[in-house]
Amino acid sequence: MTTLAGFGVKSEIYSFGVVLLEILTGMKVYDYDRPVGKQNLVKWATPLLAHEVNFEMILDPQLQDNNNPPKGAFMLAELVSKCLQPTQDERPSMKNIFQVLNECYIEQFDS
C-alpha cells in the first residue's frame, strides 16, 4: 500500500524511527545549540546505535537505572538503526517493529 508522491509505509517507518530516536536520546531532531556535527540528531547518532558501548553515550540519562541502560534498550537502539536505513527495502516491516517492541517490553520485566 502506497500513498501519493511515492510516500508509503516504509517512508513512515523512517519517520517512526526518528521519533523513537528522539525518545531514546531525549534530544530534538535538530538543535542548533548542540556542537557542530551533533546538530542533526539522525546523522550524528545513527552510527552510534549499532554498538552497545557507543549507544550508551547517547541514551537519555533519565532512562537509565543506577547508571545502567534498561534491559532491552540496546534491542530498541538496533531497531531504530534499522528504521533509519537509507533505502526503504532495508527498513523493517511494521509487523517486525511490533515484534521487537514487544520483546523490548518483555525483556524489561524478565528477571
State whether residue 29 is helix, strand or coil: coil
List, for the chain, all residue ranges whose pLDDT scores fall below the cut of 50: 1-5
In a domain, 85, yes or no: yes
Task: Please tell me the predicted confidence (pLDDT) of residue 46.
Answer: 93
Q: How many domains does the chain have?
A: 1
In a domain, 21, yes or no: yes
Task: Please tell me the predicted confidence (pLDDT) of residue 102.
Answer: 94
Grid-cell match 523493517, residue found: 92
CA neighbor of 58 nearest in space, from 17, 15, 22, 93: 22
Position 79, amino acid: L
* pLDDT tens digits along 8-20: 777 899 999 999 9
Task: Please tell me the predicted confidence (pLDDT) of residue 6.
Answer: 53
CATH number at residue 41: 1.10.510.10
- Total-model pTM: 0.85
In a domain, 4, yes or no: no
Q: Provide the residue range defining the domain that includes 15.
A: 9-109
Task: Please tell me the predicted confidence (pLDDT) of residue 51.
Answer: 86
In a domain, 61, yes or no: yes
In a domain, 1, yes or no: no
Check if the beta carbon of residue 79 is closer than 8 Å to that of residue 100. yes
In a domain, 52, yes or no: yes
CA neighbor of 98 nearest in space, from 41, 25, 20: 20
In a domain, 27, yes or no: yes
Q: What CA–CA distance (Å, rounded) separates 23 from 34?
A: 17
In a domain, 75, yes or no: yes
Average pLDDT, the chain: 87
Task: Please tell me the predicted confidence (pLDDT) of residue 7.
Answer: 60
